[in-house]
A and B are shown apart, each in its own frame.
Chain A
């Protein structure tokens, strides 16, 4: 159900809306002040009540993640913010850093306190120069006001926040690759365990959180964890609050919209996104970044034996609330909740080629199945698109993707194999047309 909120976005687009004055005029920094006056356990409990599912794509409960940090430790603790936004279709964190950076800074203060960290690194991809500038500016303003530094709000709990920059690598959005990159190494993912909470940045206990996950924390402490959770239609299945939804591709009004969890793809596309470009028919929707499987609009929700799905069974996938567990339940993934819409002006085979080219380009090369598999998939698709592919090769696409799935150090393997399998399953006919007709029935450009 569509229920707009404006906790994160109320100052978006306003003149100087990203500055401290605007943030404090809207009640900013009260939550961090409040949290620093609570016990650490009480802060974690409040966060748990909010059921903030990680907004970076994995959907792990933020409060629970915080609780994994060791209570007794002689080593320093670190909070690391994943601001390496680069999942195709995803552009929400950038809006927070550019237009509401103080929400992230305030959230970092709360997060640092909760996990016992005195230092926080915000890992921003290098290309986001305006984001870095605004974050450094917000840090300076917060320090000057005494909200950040040796004694935030006069409390005896020092917090320092630093912006760290990447240098162009999608894989650094994977949390252990990000930690290696933060340490000055090649951004190759680490084997887990040990998990970051035991052995993270610089060998010390660390928590890695997404930008939006942390930026919403001031709201959680402002209205209370329970009240925050109940904003969501899915609070009963522990998917609480509101979040940023994005829509791009073939819609009339692409953008980022804040709404309560429970929003459906149909509402995102038609009510918020203004409908399909040129009023054409939808042929596919990727729910939240290109690592999620693509869905056709005529797919029907049919999950037997799970009472949570009873209200949705028999409905179109476009009418299923966008939640972590609702989409997991249908064998899909919510990801970053930034959808990409393909109308019938798009060629799904060329879209497939585009997506797999991305994964071949971004595979870090550490694990053989992923490094070689992505190359094989791209080369087969090169041939199919050029009209020289065969049905046997088309069949190999699924075999290769299945051989990558589960056989790599990090989740990039699954994130690449999922779309590889989903496109073959749903656009088999279009792919076969390319094989049989030599691709000459198509225009050669992704969108006509």
Chain B
């Protein structure tokens, strides 16, 4: 089925377009909007929709999607967890955090739990070096992590469905 936005999101799309001198500049914000409306990923239908609305070729939009790490080309889990692995976090124990997450979720980094609830990923520096180690869950940062805190966060995702 062709991809479409709700009336509310259509309104948001118009607002985004009003900020720029041309339609192409809205490409990344509009892709975010559509990805959020499409269970967290950019399908071929989404690319066709964005290309149509912004008067771009699908090749141009696909080129943007493949360049940036935050556009998912496959459907992710209901929640996405990114463990920062860059130097400042690694100096404060991010490797242990990641291993702990892998064990607790029963997946390797890059994979989604079998019930589709959580996708575990690593991230490069998230500008949270002074509060390392840290991880991002959906749109929220969790900083100065301890293993107990990580357990609490993951339990909420796995059993309550909310961070």
Contacts and interface: CB of A to CB of B under 8 A. Distances in A.
Interface of A: 76, 85-91, 93-94, 125-130, 162, 164-170, 181-188, 202, 246-250, 254-256, 286, 290, 338, 340, 342, 346, 350-351, 354-355, 358, 361-362, 364, 445-447
Contacts of A166: 28, 68
Given A168-B68, A446-B95, A358 B132 contact: no
9 smallest beta-carbon distances between A and B, as pairs: A184-B27, A167-B68, A168-B70, A168-B69, A248-B129, A184-B24, A186-B67, A248-B88, A254-B130
A354 B86 contact: yes
B26 interface: yes
B92 A165 contact: no
A248 B132 contact: yes
Interface in B30-86: 31-32, 54, 56, 63-64, 67-71, 85-86
A249 B69 contact: no
B63 A290 contact: no
Given A129-B139, A185-B64, A254-B130, A351 B69 contact: no
A340 B70 contact: no
Nearest to B71: A167
B87 interface: yes
26 contacts: A88-B88, A88-B125, A88-B129, A89-B88, A93-B127, A125-B127, A127-B123, A127-B126, A127-B127, A167-B28, A167-B32, A170-B124, A182-B25, A185-B24, A202-B21, A246-B129, A249-B129, A254-B88, A254-B132, A255-B130, A338-B129, A340-B129, A351-B91, A358-B86, A358-B87, A447-B91
Given A184-B25, A249-B92, A354-B90, A85 B127 contact: yes
Given A91-B130, A167-B31, A446 B91 contact: yes
A129 B124 CA distance: 16
B109 interface: no
Contacts of A256: 130
Interface residues of B, number: 44
B140 to A, nearest CB: 7
B125 A169 contact: no
B113 interface: no
Contacts of B27: 184-185
A184 B64 contact: yes
Contacts of A89: 87-88, 125, 129
Contacts of A187: 67-68
B131 interface: yes
A277 to B, nearest CB: 9
A342 B91 contact: yes
A268 to B, nearest CB: 12
A310 to B, nearest CB: 34
A290 B88 CA distance: 10
Contacts of A362: 124
A94 B28 contact: no
B106 interface: no
A183 B130 contact: no
A183 B92 contact: no
B127 A86 contact: yes
B116 interface: no
A184 B28 contact: yes
A23 B66 CA distance: 41
B32 A165 contact: yes
Contacts of A354: 85-87, 90
B90 A447 contact: yes
